[in-house]
Structure 1
Amino acid sequence: MTPYVLTVDAGVRDLRAADHLLHSLSAELALTEGTFGCTHLLREGRPHVGLSFALPTEPLLRTALERLGSGGYEVAPGVPDAVGRAVLYPGVSALTGTLSVADLLDRSAIDRVTVLGSGSRQPDPATVLLTNNHVRPQFQDGELVLTAMPAAAGALVPFEVPDPTPCCADH
């Protein structure tokens, strides 16, 4: 990541709305491919989701700070924590459909893939990953890590699904 980082607190309550806001702000600011946009669970006051942007240049940071501040957003330098859930990152647009773990790592800023229940063992690079067009890695110890889980026929799927069933949806 770069040293040009800012946090936006827009009072967003859920991840889907935060993802949408990240995409909207990125488009409004005309952010470049080298930008990282993450969500962070904020627990101060009323729990909600904050956003962070890691920008490739200092002039872009100044522009973003000015525009977001004048747009009524609460903006602060830095990130609220080190475990951001990446929504925008280099290569994310190439992670659609079905691809191998090796292709995922080659095409994006993701550093590694972990599989639930496999300990620290890395999946075979040839393993198929069904992206569902929704790949949300998380920063862990400075690395961008995608957590996946086993699927049918030896394939993997990202742990986070695009449309999760809400807790207690059938009650």
Structure 2
Amino acid sequence: MTPYVLTVDAGVRDLRAADRLLHTLAGELALDEGAFGCTHLVWDDTPRVVVSLALPSEPLLRTAQERLTARGHQVSPGAPDAVGRAVLYPGVAELTGTLTVGDVLARSAIDCVTVLGSPIRPDPRARLVTRDHVRPQWQHGELVLTAMPAVGGTLVPFEVPAPTPCCADH
């Protein structure tokens, strides 16, 4: 990743709202394909989700800081941790429909795909049904997508697009 990173704390409490915030910020700041936008869970007195933006240049970083601060967002330098969940990253727009694992790696910034519970990486020809929702996570400096087995020998990203909230039936 780039050294031009900032964190935005907008008091967001859930991942879906943080995803929407990142997409809104990307549009407002006219971020190009080279930017990264990640979510980070904060577990202090006020649990929430903050977002980080990794930008390709210092001038863009300064512009983003100025605009976001002017909008009333709390902005701080750097990322809150090294394990952000990537929402915006190079190639994310290409990850729709069903692709092979090899296509995912070739078309995006994702460095590797792992399968939940398996020590072996999937075959590059394995089919991944993206559900148009691919959220890899930074692990040891690599962008890693965790997948799980699905119907018909396919894989799906571990994170589902519209999760059922805990205790939804209560």
TM-score bucket (shorter structure): over 0.9
The aligned counterpart of 1:95 is: 95
**Code of the aligned partner of 1:144:** L
Aligned equivalents of 1:91 and 1:44: distance in 2?
A: 33
Aligned equivalents of 2:141 and 2:126: distance in 1?
A: 25
Aligned length: 170
**Runs of 4+ deviating beyond 6 Å:** none
Please give the secondary structure, in 2, of the residue aligned with 1:72. coil
Query: How does the TM-score come out when normalised to structure 1?
Result: 0.98
| Further displaced range: 107-116 or 42-51 | 42-51
The aligned counterpart of 1:113 is: 113
Unaligned runs of 5+ in 2: none
1:65 aligns with 2:65: yes
Shift of 1:169: 1.6
Please give the secondary structure, in 1, of the residue aligned with 2:31. coil
Aligned equivalents of 2:86 and 2:102: distance in 1?
A: 19
Aligned equivalents of 2:165 and 2:70: distance in 1?
A: 35
RMSD, aligned CA:
0.6
Please give the secondary structure, in 2, of the residue aligned with 1:104. helix
Shift of 1:7: 0.2
The aligned counterpart of 1:43 is: 43
Shift of 1:130: 0.1
The aligned counterpart of 2:17 is: 17
Query: How does the TM-score come out when normalised to structure 2?
Result: 0.99
Aligned equivalents of 2:46 and 2:93: distance in 1?
A: 33
Please give the secondary structure, in 2, of the residue aligned with 1:38. strand
**Identical pairs, percent:** 73
1:157 aligns with 2:156: yes
Aligned equivalents of 2:154 and 2:42: distance in 1?
A: 34
The aligned counterpart of 2:135 is: 136
Shift of 1:153: 1.3
Mapping of 1:77-92 within 5 angstroms?
Answer: 77-92=77-92
